[in-house]
Structure 1
């Protein structure tokens, strides 16, 4: 009972920084989280999105015998696919943040406010990797908005509310606490993810909704759960408000794709065994194994160094390094704490985008080539970042194999290492080599980390 009374007290306006005490009236007990909900709920919206997808129609559909044999027979035809989720208004002029998986590639988006007003919206910026999207409500009057709180000030154990539209039943509020911070990759299988964990019940339809503190300030955008049943098991994840702020800033700057700083580093978390070998008291930080020659870290970081802080905040995984750099943004300078030979050093590094150097130079092989209509690119840091290739990848990548390349067994994302024994250094040289082939063609290809040779008689 004492626990319940303390929760009630924390929700009362004007007493958030006061000395903790037991509520003195029945009215205070009955309020609960109501003042926080009244403040935050109007800025949380329901989102209905539709997209057109291609499906294959079969003339045997519904036939109990032939359907299993000829289910894939038939031409493709468009079908409207609907999705349901939530969003958060972050400015009075109609800027809304939601999840990419709710609105990504949608052709029609409807935003329904808490008071049932409905407006059309369009996507300004989306990023599938971060699962965030920024929308603009069309022709809306001045709207209620939530204030962002610095997610770096959030602590484990804080009371939070999750507001959204679970299972399409309408706006719902659930409560819990922050049960973990700096969760990397556990929510979506994305090793570059970085999340706030909460036990506030989050269910399908809550995606894109608000995770707010007891002041009604936004600390995260609900994005995913860990569940075997599809419902809430008390392990939910939210994208921190710090990253949300960067998305909104880039959307207002006119970007349609989110641009992250590029580290050009390869590394792994420091384990207890590594810490002992490095002479470190605790297994903290990221041990650097590779530094790309084009990285802005090249002058100050070398393999064997341990990065313990970025921007003054501790990092314990590559995902945390990427997250901290993303908060600073391209063009900013950030402080890095480096541990080398047992000595700690503070350095400052300018954050850059992945360089397009040497030039990517996309080329389509001509009709004279042994494999025509194939789209090729020279591998550089920009391509490495786009395709998530190993850091030191070299050669030429197949952007699109085209109809002839696909028949030959090539796939998008394959790396060409050589053509008839000639090293594939850039897209231009590979295109020329394919025009000069006679007799036999041997392609050395790297796919998913494995090398193989494709041989053809011309």
Structure 2
């Protein structure tokens, strides 16, 4: 009996020593946590409250439920006819053509109860037929109301009973670090929701500060098929249309990009009211600032849009802006990059008045600028600078429409005789009325498409050029 009690006693002591050793030398985190609680009770209390709030803020079930029924699956079917020499050989001339179909898919967002749906232009580009599938599996034929290749936005319309729809949020007000959901149909997996945060705003995908991209960047997973779907905040408001991913594989690897809702809203309102997108300009030339540019210009400011020149007769000139001024805000929205500036201007129309804050010689000034219509555009892919023609100029040339070549850098076209003063009247048999028409047609060009450009030469004779 004594021997048994001794064994029990030694076992108990050994167990206590083992437990004590584990608690003292191995289980470190709780010990540190206990010390922190005793030493800084106020800090721990604040951390605890923040944790509770974070848990509440990251419960996306209500937002997801609210959004899912407003996002649709978009199916684009295009039919193409190709010449088949083998069929022609066996069945005779005139019977050597063959028609085939191509199907593309993406997502769309219902924005009104009467069936208006917004998606990406590249989702429905070249479509012969468009179908949308609602979240309840109902399939509807869709009509294309209009598209804007520049912003990659298209507007569809379906005929049906009253539909659930999403409300627009203010994309200028979203903050980096804010929670968002991406809702769409990746890989034909319908009704998919992913979560992430806003990673950046005013993102230029080319990174050179010279293009007009102004995307919202997020780390919410977006894959092929998500294009045209919704990016929403935790209140279920639409803050962007998912459009692109940054990837070397074609699939999501960390970042995706959305057209801001303020740009989207303006585009679709224009398409509904005018049938095309009303494009405004501030009337300035220049570029965004950074440390190197600031050093070269011998200025202290490293953020903002530096004005190198002001367009004659523009709203900027009339409001008193000059070369060497630095734009830092527009209507209270911070302007740090070229993408910030162009993204803001894309939400406006000709005739709109914007409040511009700018620096001149280190002092801040504020002016109201009336935006004007875009009368000139540089089309880099054509190697031309184009200008709109007014009514008197068109009458003098005895034509109804066209835009004039103001400058040309395309050596190949120069070799074939294209000169300054030529007038582009049509592209692919579609009349050209403004420089925006040319920009849209170029933007809508697929990789293998051929552009047939009709021009009037300096003698008023019609010439045709093929541009690949």
> Is 1:287 the equivalent of 2:306?
yes
The counterpart of 2:66, out of the listed 27, 30, 39, is: 39
Distance (Å, rounded) in 2 between the aligned partners of 1:175 and 1:317:
27
Q: TM-score, normalised by structure 2?
A: 0.68
Query: What is the aligned partner in structure 2 of residue 388 from structure 1?
Result: none
SS at match of 1:328: coil
Aligned CA-pair RMSD = 3.8
Distance (Å, rounded) in 1 between the aligned partners of 2:347 and 2:403:
30
> Is 1:59 the equivalent of 2:59?
no
Question: Which structure is larger by alpha-carbon Rg, 1 or 2?
Answer: 2
Query: What is the aligned partner in structure 2 of residue 251 from structure 1?
Result: 271
Distance (Å, rounded) in 2 between the aligned partners of 1:85 and 1:144:
19
Distance (Å, rounded) in 1 between the aligned partners of 2:362 and 2:205:
30
SS at match of 1:344: strand
Distance (Å, rounded) in 1 between the aligned partners of 2:264 and 2:298:
38
Moved more, 275-284 or 202-211: 275-284
Q: How does 1:48-447 map to 2 (within 5 A)?
A: 48-59=75-86, 78-137=99-158, 139-186=159-206, 191-253=211-273, 255-276=274-295, 280-299=299-318, 300-355=320-375, 356-359=388-391, 361=394, 377-379=403-405, 395-399=421-425, 430-432=458-460
For residues 241-282 of structure 1, what are the alpha-carbon distances to aligned partners after superposition, in whole Å with 9 as ceiling and x for unaligned?
Answer: 1111112322331x2221210233221111213334656443
Distance (Å, rounded) in 2 between the aligned partners of 1:313 and 1:75:
60
SS at match of 1:430: coil
Distance (Å, rounded) in 2 between the aligned partners of 1:280 and 1:231:
42
Query: What is the aligned partner in structure 1 of residue 411 from structure 2?
Result: none
For residues 69-98 of structure 1, what are the alpha-carbon distances to aligned partners after superposition, in whole Å with 9 as ceiling and x for unaligned?
Answer: xxxxx9775532221000001111111110
Rate the CA distance shift 1:400–1:333 in 2: closer, same or farther, 3 A: closer
Q: TM-score, normalised by structure 1?
A: 0.69
For residues 139-169 of structure 1, what are the alpha-carbon distances to aligned partners after superposition, in whole Å with 9 as ceiling and x for unaligned?
Answer: 2111001111111121111111111110112
SS at match of 1:83: strand
Distance (Å, rounded) in 1 between the aligned partners of 2:334 and 2:298:
19
Moved more, 51-60 or 345-354: 51-60
- Alpha carbons 1:363, 1:376 under 8 Å: kept: no
Rate the CA distance shift 1:105–1:92 in 2: closer, same or farther, 3 A: same
The offset of 1:428, in angstroms, is: 7.5
- Alpha carbons 1:338, 1:344 under 8 Å: kept: yes
Distance (Å, rounded) in 2 between the aligned partners of 1:343 and 1:295:
23
Distance (Å, rounded) in 2 between the aligned partners of 1:102 and 1:42:
20
Gaps in structure 1 of 5+ consecutive residues: 1-18, 62-73, 367-374, 384-392, 404-411, 414-426, 436-442, 448-458
Higher share of residues assigned helix: 2
Distance (Å, rounded) in 2 between the aligned partners of 1:428 and 1:245:
38
- Alpha carbons 2:303, 2:337 under 8 Å: kept: no
SS at match of 2:459: helix
Rate the CA distance shift 1:78–1:335 in 2: closer, same or farther, 3 A: farther
The offset of 1:289, in angstroms, is: 2.0
The offset of 1:35, in angstroms, is: 1.9
Distance (Å, rounded) in 2 between the aligned partners of 1:56 and 1:363:
44
- Alpha carbons 1:362, 1:376 under 8 Å: kept: no
SS at match of 2:236: coil
SS at match of 2:458: helix
For residues 101-152 of structure 1, what are the alpha-carbon distances to aligned partners after superposition, in whole Å with 9 as ceiling and x for unaligned?
Answer: 0113322111110001111111222111110111111x21110011111111
The offset of 1:394, in angstroms, is: 5.9
The offset of 1:345, in angstroms, is: 1.2
Gaps in structure 2 of 5+ consecutive residues: 1-48, 89-94, 376-387, 409-418, 430-437, 440-454
For residues 209-241 of structure 1, what are the alpha-carbon distances to aligned partners after superposition, in whole Å with 9 as ceiling and x for unaligned?
Answer: 011112211111100001111110011001111
Query: What is the aligned partner in structure 2 of residue 22 from structure 1?
Result: 52
Query: What is the aligned partner in structure 1 of residue 12 from structure 2?
Result: none
Moved more, 273-282 or 122-131: 273-282
- Alpha carbons 2:405, 2:424 under 8 Å: kept: no
Count of aligned pairs between the two proteins: 362
The offset of 1:351, in angstroms, is: 1.4
SS at match of 2:316: coil
The offset of 1:313, in angstroms, is: 1.2
Query: What is the aligned partner in structure 2 of residue 408 from structure 1?
Result: none
- Alpha carbons 2:423, 2:456 under 8 Å: kept: no
SS at match of 1:361: helix
SS at match of 2:102: strand
